[in-house]
Structure 1
Amino acid sequence: MSSPSRRRVPLDTPERLAEVLAAAIDVVAEVGYERFNMDLVAQRAHVSKGSLYQRWPSKAHLIVAALDANRVEMTAPDTGSYLGDVRELAKRWLRAEMPGDRRGLLLALLEGSRRDPELARLMTEQLGQGGTNPMAEVLDAAKARGELPPGVDLELLAELPLSLAITNVLFKDQPLTEDLVDRIVDGLLAPLLGIGDHRE
């Protein structure tokens, strides 16, 4: 007979659902997208595999649901400078509580979206909609303050910090840390744009 801690229970409460979705994040971050499967999540969350398939028809659907449930909602900071806002926004995201190893999760999602068109489609359709875009708000505020050089491409500038972080994770095997945020802000954005964040 299974012990109480190992018995499989249905997904009949919001708390249990949250546990399963957090387990999915943990598992995919640990094993990667290719090795991720419903059996591993069922074992981790102590739920039947059939219960998982009743809610999510594929592992891609489960992962996207888990990402959506654990989405870190951020508001745009107002430090008085573009660089200060970028620094604060990135560090808030790093400090926010969420399940799973972020570096492992990032690698798994990049791998999965490249190999599985269904995952790429679901991430675009379900995660790319709704909510606020704090980085866009940061750029709008910087533009209103006259901080940004004429002709700068705001869309590319919005993507630059995350792209640099991904490059460090993928090609330099570096973790996502606050030190990396400071390097991106002080070592690239500041000299590239010719501006400062007015820190004391």
Structure 2
Amino acid sequence: MPVSRSLPPSPAARSDPASERSRGGRSRDTSRDDVLRRAALDLVMEIGYDRMTMDAVAARAGAGKATVYRRWSNKAELVGDALAQQHIDGEVPDTGSLRGDLAALGGYLFSGQDPVDKARLITGMASALLVDTELRRAFETLTPPTERAVATVVDRAVARGEIAAPADPALLAAILPALGLHRLIFTGGGPDPDYAAAVIENVLLPALLASAVSASPPPESSAP
């Protein structure tokens, strides 16, 4: 029976054992990390990344400024980490087939999301990403949760022999979140499970299956 596997964290989300220790060799308390991450994203949605400060995050979370800086050196690192941590504790559906995995994934990733919040978060960072080098650097090591989940599903399908390894797996993994973002910006509609299912069935799955067909050897021609 197929077993669900945990969604792998992006490189930015993996903890460094050395950084987890405070002076004197004792591990620091990580219980407040999620509260601080949530406070940072809430502030980005409310006032935008440019106006968000580490002081404001500390105040929103009811923590000291030093507590925030012990975890992240600047707000770009904090916001990048907060985004990287989204969904990493979830499980990527494993139904035993590429079509089944992708169908289940659409419902898993987009159920219960508020498209208004998503739009506010994206617009709160959009202008800063164009000019803020620290924020851009933080995003260079961030693989969005949706892309990581699609990549996991594709890797499984390749391992099962359903499809050939795509020539550009990162491009295919970006299709679902990219079209979801396009819909969000231009229509205000969130990437809900129904929309995700349509993208998967009409765009992503055909692209993946086409890569399998193109990788197959041509049939041998019969001798005259």
TM-score by length of 2: 0.61
- The yes-or-no answer on 1:139 pairing with 2:154 is yes
Q: Deviations 1:151-189 (Å, cap 9, x if unpaired)?
A: 875442222111111211223322131122122123434
- The yes-or-no answer on 1:52 pairing with 2:75 is no
CA RMSD of aligned residues (A): 3.6
Question: Matched residues in 1 for 2:172 and 2:47: separation?
Answer: 32
Distance of aligned partners of 1:178 and 1:17 in 2 relative to their CA distance in 1, 3 Å threshold: same
Opposite residue 121 of structure 1, the aligned amino acid is R
* Correspondences of 1:134-173 after superposition (within 5 Å): 134-143=149-158, 147-148=162-163, 153-173=168-188
Q: Per-residue deviation at 1:49?
A: 3.7
Give the length in aligned residue pairs: 178
2:98 aligns with one of 82, 89, 94: 82
1:122 aligns with one of 128, 138, 162: 138
Distance of aligned partners of 1:151 and 1:192 in 2 relative to their CA distance in 1, 3 Å threshold: closer
Question: Matched residues in 2 for 1:140 and 1:150: separation?
Answer: 8
Q: Per-residue deviation at 1:192?
A: 5.9
- The yes-or-no answer on 1:94 pairing with 2:82 is no
* Correspondences of 1:155-194 after superposition (within 5 Å): 155-189=170-204
Check the 8 A contact 1:74/1:134 in 2, yes or no.
no
Equivalent residue for 1:112?
A: 128
1:72 aligns with one of 81, 88, 109: 88
Question: Matched residues in 2 for 1:72 and 1:96: separation?
Answer: 16
Check the 8 A contact 1:169/1:176 in 2, yes or no.
yes
Opposite residue 190 of structure 2, the aligned amino acid is P
Q: Per-residue deviation at 1:134?
A: 3.7
**Structure 2 gap segments, 5+ residues each:** 1-27, 211-224
Opposite residue 196 of structure 2, the aligned amino acid is V
Aligned-residue identity in percent: 32
Opposite residue 135 of structure 2, the aligned amino acid is L
What SS does structure 2 have at the residue aligned with 1:101? helix
TM-score by length of 1: 0.67
Question: Matched residues in 1 for 2:103 and 2:128: separation?
Answer: 29
Q: Deviations 1:68-120 (Å, cap 9, x if unpaired)?
A: 444524444222432331232232223489xx933433443444332312112
